[in-house]
């Protein structure tokens, strides 16, 4: 009996280090302590032993030893599992960037920055202007008096207090002339609003970028040079444009600068209203009445102005067929611009 107890003790001690998971631990517990296990077998064998008391004591000691060792091993395994969990868990880091889709710049923002960079390099300052303006800035200071038919070209949202939502960025011309005087080179991007029915190339809320250059001896050649430079730098290649006469009361002469439709290549499509051309950047020599209203000496200075359709420029640059996608808030389409 004594030898058998010693042998079981040895075999258990040898097995113990290999018990690295709950399953093997349980298997050994059943083998040694179970109803039909080695300890139960020893207890049965007691009947044939003369010194039952000593043998019983030895069996009990072995049983206690095995129970204690298995319990301790069980605890070790449990705390090792917790430690492994802690180790594998991500450490808290207050400066970590969240693991989710980051936002992206709106294509209009990207186009605006690109055009701004081109004009900044050519010495233009960038001005900001309000979206809610008065009748004076939006029309009267631009040689468009009350009841002038040119007002009909821009369906205006009027506010109850008599102010209005800026229909074009030209509304800032007068105040910028008064702010800086001449000579002057400035661009001013901004959101414009018109109560128009929308289609693939018309929105009721869109962006323009106005530009003005006033100095001595400014002529149409300067205007054409700056327009060409801006377009070739923004598109990084030659784009087909055409210049045709256009009427705006605040310029004389006035032009419409159209871009060959980049969506259909000029064949005609909904994006260009099937004409193959898109009105992009009307421009002209600033009317002397407008210069005078802005406090500029018309004997000494002349200037040009343009009103670039920024949203349409973004359409052409990025191949967006429908202008309404820009204000759609659809992440499916807008998030595509993050890598541009």
Give least dist CB 168 to ligand FA5, A: 3
Q: Output 38 or 306, the one with its CB closest to ligand FA5.
A: 306
Question: Contact at 8 Å (CB) between 214 and 184?
Answer: yes
Q: Which positions touch ligand FA5 (CB under 6 A)?
A: 168, 170, 194, 196, 202-203, 206, 208, 210, 248, 251, 254, 279-280, 282-284, 305-307, 309, 311-312, 323
Terminal Cα distance for the chain, rounded: 85
Choose between 59 and 334: whose C-beta lies nearer to ligand FA5: 334
CA gap 195, 206 in Å, rounded: 11
Report CA dihedral (263, 269, 275, 279) to the nearest 10 degrees: -50
Which residues touch 92 (CB under 8 Å, ≥6 apart)? none
Q: Among residues 62 and 256, whose Cβ is nearest to ligand FA5?
A: 256
As measured in angstroms, the least distance from the Cβ of 314 to ligand FA5 is 10
Residue whose Cβ sits closest to ligand FA5:
309
The three-state secondary structure class of 148 is: coil
Measured CA to CA, the distance from residue 210 to residue 202 in angstroms comes to 18
Helix (H) or strand (E) holding 81: helix 52-88
CB of 98 to ligand FA5, least distance (A): 36
Question: How many angstroms separate the CA atoms of 184 and 268, rounded?
Answer: 39
Cβ atoms of 61 and 54 within 8 Å: the answer is no
3-state secondary structure of 184: strand
Question: Considering the complex, what minimum distance in angstroms separates the CB of residue 99 from ligand FA5?
Answer: 38
Q: Which is nearer to ligand FA5, 29 or 194 (CB)?
A: 194
**Structure tokens belonging to residue 169:** 């960025």
Nearer to ligand FA5, 12 or 137 (CB): 137
Shortest distance, position 238 Cβ to ligand FA5, whole Å: 20
Summary count for the chain: helices (H), strands (E): 11, 10
- Scanning the structure block, which residue is given the tokens 């006035």? 254
Q: Give whichever of 4 and 273 is closer to ligand FA5, judged by the CB atom.
A: 273
- Could you tell me whether strands 283-286 and 125-126 are parallel, antiparallel, or unpaired per DSSP bridges? unpaired
Nearest approach, Cβ of residue 112 and ligand FA5 (Å): 14
Beta carbon nearer to ligand FA5, 59 or 227: 227
Supply the minimum distance, in Å, between the C-beta of residue 295 and ligand FA5.
18
């Amino acid at each position: 009996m004594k030898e058998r107890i010693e042998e079981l003790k040895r075999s258990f001690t040898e097995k113990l280090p290999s018990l690295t998971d709950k399953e093997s631990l349980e298997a050994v517990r059943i083998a040694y302590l179970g109803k039909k296990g080695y300890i139960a077998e020893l207890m049965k064998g007691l009947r044939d032993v003369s010194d039952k008391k000593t043998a019983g004591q030895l069996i009990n000691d072995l049983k206690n030893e095995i129970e204690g060792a298995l319990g301790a091993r069980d605890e070790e395994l449990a705390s090792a599992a917790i430690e492994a969990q802690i180790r594998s868990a991500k450490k808290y880091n207050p400066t970590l960037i969240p693991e989710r889709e980051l936002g992206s710049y709106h294509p209009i923002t990207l186009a605006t920055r690109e055009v701004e960079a081109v004009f900044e390099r050519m010495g233009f300052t960038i001005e900001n202007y309000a979206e809610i303006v008065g009748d004076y800035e939006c029309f009267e200071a631009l040689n468009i008096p009350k009841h002038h038919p040119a007002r009909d070209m821009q369906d205006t949202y009027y506010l109850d207090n008599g102010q209005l939502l800026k229909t074009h960025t030209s509304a800032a011309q007068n105040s910028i002339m008064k702010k800086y005087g001449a000579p002057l080179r400035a661009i001013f991007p901004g959101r414009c609003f018109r109560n128009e029915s929308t289609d693939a190339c018309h929105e009721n809320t869109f962006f323009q970028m106005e530009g003005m250059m006033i100095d001595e001896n400014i002529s149409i050649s300067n205007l054409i040079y700056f327009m060409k430079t801006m377009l070739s730098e923004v598109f990084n290649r030659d784009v087909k444009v055409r210049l045709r006469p256009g009427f705006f009361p605040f310029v004389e002469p006035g032009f419409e600068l159209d871009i060959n439709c980049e969506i259909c290549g000029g064949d005609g499509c909904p994006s260009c209203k099937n004409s193959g051309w898109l009105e992009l950047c009307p421009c002209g020599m600033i009317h002397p009445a407008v210069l005078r209203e802005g406090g500029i000496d018309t004997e000494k200075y002349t200037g040009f102005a343009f009103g670039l359709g920024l949203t349409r420029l973004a359409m052409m640059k990025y191949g967006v067929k429908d202008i309404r996608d820009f204000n759609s808030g659809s992440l499916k389409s807008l998030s595509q611009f993050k890598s541009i």
